[in-house]
Amino acid sequence: MSLFAGKGKPLVGLDIGAASIKLAELRDGSGGGYVLEAAAIEPLPPGAIVESAIKDAQLVGEAVRRVLDKAGTTTRRVAIGVSGNAVIIKTITLPEMSELDLEGQIAYEADQYVPYDIDELNLDFHVLGPSEHEEGHMDVLLAVCKKGLVEEYQQLLDSAGLDLVCVDCAVLAIQNMAELIGNAQRAGAGQAIALVDIGGALLHVNILVDGRTTFVRDHFIGGNDLTQAIQKETGMSFQQAEQLKLEDPAAIPAAAAERYHEQVAAEILRALDFYAANHSQPVSRMLLSGGAALQPNLIEALAMRLDIELDLLQPFPTIALPNDKGFDPIEVRRQGPRMIEALGLALRSGEQP
Ligand SMILES: Nc1ncnc2c1ncn2[C@@H]1O[C@H](COP(=O)(O)OP(=O)(O)OP(=O)(O)O)[C@@H](O)[C@H]1O
Ligand SMILES: [Mg+2]
């Protein structure tokens, strides 16, 4: 199965994360562009999904059925995103060759870049274009994912009556959506843009130079860490602390918020340091997505600590809302940055194999 390609038929993007399942389905708009056809979010309890791995198949299966019901879609073809330790994405530079030759050689090349047994991996590649640094060479985006992970999802989706047609890397789905929104490329020449997604448990960093992925890293921090910090300060249960965080953010103990902002900034700085060790283009802008990016004050707290221009990635109104589907435009827009990965996955339906 291709990690990148989809087919030109209706398809739903399912972002199965540590904190929630997000579903998005798009259709072509009459004047070009995309219209939201279906969307829903269904929460997941902590521990059901860990780094994309399914830890409680029954619970996740039930949540998948609920999110489909909520969205009211009849489409059964699904694209999912994977991330965490089971996934490796790298840009490699190879001598120029045809796609066919590369196809024959990619396993050999991948073997040199990934620490796993090549027979246990699903491999995919995407030619980015000529290398700017080496004459006669090209940059190739290499993506690998452990076969076991894809099989787990195939089983889960099978039992929910769904057809898994595309497995994408979470960061690439996010990048696809950022490109559609049109602000991923808006960096000056020689400048880089960082796409940072902050979910329940993971923070993904994808640094683009001239619109190309040059650096990808996952960090183990997310909105659950703030919930746990609130728990620690107040003695509340996880559910109570989560509710306080979402419904009364002004009541979050200052010490918990401060500690969490410090941790998130430190992880992002660590990624930027790793990037800077091998790349000269400075990161001038950061675009945030994921549920935890919606936390009030986070952007200000990060801007202060990182000294970088920060914005939320907002998919609406680039994606148009139809009048006849009963969407609440304010709520959809509010959740927009959290829907980025699911929307990026849904975009795979428009691509040719
Ligand atoms: N409006 C909001 N304000 C603050 N935090 C929020 C808001 N909405 C969601 N969150 C937090 O975002 C996190 C969930 O985000 P999201 O649904 O993007 O995670 P996920 O994709 O399931 O997780 P991961 O990407 O780590 O696998 C939770 O910690 C949740 O509390
Ligand atoms: Mg996520």
Q: In Å, what is the CA distance from 201 to each residue of 19, 52, 220, 227, 251?
A: 7, 10, 6, 11, 22
The model's confidence at residue 45, banded by pLDDT at 50, 70 and 90, is: confident
Q: Is 327 exposed, middle or buried (0-12, 13-18, 19+ CB in 10 A)?
A: middle
Handedness of CA 118, 144, 218, 240 (dihedral sign): negative
**pLDDT in the model for residue 7:** 45
Tell me: the pLDDT tens digits for 133-165? 899 999 999 999 999 999 999 999 999 999 999
Q: Is there an atom of ligand 1 within 6 Å of 200 CB?
A: yes
The predicted-structure confidence for 258-296, as pLDDT tens digits, reads as follows 999 999 999 999 999 999 998 999 999 999 999 999 999
Peptide bond just before 317 cis, omega within 30 deg: yes
Amino acid in position 109 = E
- d(Cα 109, Cα 119) in Å, to the nearest integer? 13
**CA 223 to ligand 1: nearest atom:** 29
Question: Is pTM, for the whole model, over 0.85?
Answer: yes
pLDDT of 337 over the 70 cut = yes
How many Å apart are CA 261 and CA 298, to the nearest integer? 7
The 8-class DSSP code of residue 4 comes to: S
Task: Write down the architecture of domain 1-88+145-182+314-353 according to CATH.
Answer: 2-Layer Sandwich (3.30)
Do the Cβ atoms of 272 and 194 come closer than 8 Å?
A: yes
In CATH, which superfamily holds the domain spanning 184-312? ATPase, nucleotide binding domain (3.30.420.40)
- Across the range 10-30, mean pLDDT stands at 95
CB-count exposure of residue 348 (10 Å: 0-12, 13-18, 19+): buried
Q: What's the pLDDT score for residue 353?
A: 36
pLDDT higher than threshold 70 for residue 2:
no
Ligand 1 centroid–CA 288 distance in Å is 12
What ligand 1 atom has the least distance to the C-alpha of 197?
25
Q: What residue spans in the chain does CATH classification 3.30.420.40 cover? A: 1-88+145-182+314-353, 184-312
Which has the minimum average pLDDT: 28-32, 161-165, 255-259?
28-32
Sort strands 49-50 and 53-54 into parallel, antiparallel or unpaired: antiparallel
